Amino acid sequence: MRGFRKIVGGVLLLGLLAGCELPAGADPADKDGVTLTVAFTQSGANGAALEADLVAAIEAAKTSIDVAMYELDLPSVTEALVQAHKRGVQVRLVTEGTYRNERGPVALQQAGAPVVIERRDPFMHDKFIVIDGRTVWTGSWNFTYSETYRNDNNVVILTSAAVAEDYTTEFEEMFTEQLFGPDSPANTPHPQLPLSDGVLEIYFAPEDKPQPQIVAALEAAQSSIRFMAFTLTDNAIAGVLSRKQQAGLLVEGVVEEEQITATGADYEALRQAGVDVRLDGNPYTMHHKVIIVDEAVVITGSYNFTRSAAESNDENVLIIHSPELAARYLEEFSRVYQQAQE
């Protein structure tokens, strides 16, 4: 079987399994393939099912849970992690110092679980959890009430020992070696893995230098680029979007309204270049960091399209070559775009 689709807890499960022939450059380390689940949060919808699914995954953990989370404050997730620690599962947390006094870090420390707090000026902006060395949850979603029930976010759940090894390697750098940002080594074990209809690329910033890979993916666009960006201040990315628009490609996007006056924001420059870029219509926050290229490639993760993400923050990025997955993101883009203000 090369792929499957089903609904679990209100979330579409999209399975993309490795085929017989591996794409060039892809690592065959995980012979059972990579299974991807994609879900979206939005104001007033989907959050309860996603929260319940995450709690259930934590409750089902048998050996280990590693959490690298910018902000952790959901009561149910916090309690599930504490209870997992109490029943003997190894639970470890790395979090951003700005949010060290929120519910998650405080409760885990009080329970005796080990917590590493990153205190540099640049952010520990990762958003991922690795369960039992097999399952990874990542995307734009922080584990908070607003992120779950108000804001627009996307979550990718990957079941694969090889993917989990990549994320665990990054986690160990921060948790065990206390290496953050530019000090982190570029040692991702499996930077490319095969999917049935393409390739999964995995990057961690800044060490793996994902920004040139993102630019290259945009430069390769032949027909369309669509983006949902919480913030966009990277002139190299904005420059490609403008050039592709002027070359006749369909380029359209939505940005978070509160971020268009941020230092270096490229919103006005994109509009002047003729790019159809709109302000989000969510009364709370449009928190996606997503680009869809040629309806076939999805770029997503914790990575905002900024120089800080490229050069100093701890971030994680997926570039997913999969028309089937891209179709799901196009549905979300259509919803956000139609809701946006021209």
Q: What is the pLDDT along the chain (342 residues), one digit of tens a residue?
A: 233 333 333 344 454 443 333 344 555 455 568 999 999 999 878 899 999 999 999 999 999 999 999 999 999 999 999 999 999 999 999 999 999 999 999 999 999 999 999 988 889 999 999 999 999 999 999 999 999 999 999 999 999 999 999 999 999 999 999 999 999 999 999 999 999 889 999 999 999 999 999 999 999 999 999 999 999 999 999 999 999 999 999 999 999 999 999 999 999 999 999 999 999 999 999 999 999 999 999 999 999 999 999 999 999 999 999 999 999 999 999 999 999 987
**Is 3.30.870.10 the CATH classification of the domain at 3-17+32-339?**
yes
Helices 75-86 and 47-59: crossing angle in degrees, nearest 10, is 10
Given 27, 132, 276, 294, which residue is catalytic? 294
Helices 235-246 and 210-219: crossing angle in degrees, nearest 10, is 0
Given 190, 287, 288, 321, which residue is catalytic? 287
Locus of tokens 């022939």: 21
Would you say 153 and 43 are in contact if contact means Cβ atoms under 8 Å apart?
Answer: no
> Known catalytic residue: 6?
no
> Known catalytic residue: 289?
yes
> Known catalytic residue: 294?
yes
Given 244, 288, 289, 321, which residue is catalytic? 289
Determine the pLDDT at residue 341: 84
User: Could you tell me the pTM of the whole model?
Assistant: 0.92
Instruction: At 308, give phi and psi (nearest 5°).
Output: -60, -40
Sign of the alpha-carbon dihedral angle for 285, 290, 293, 296: negative
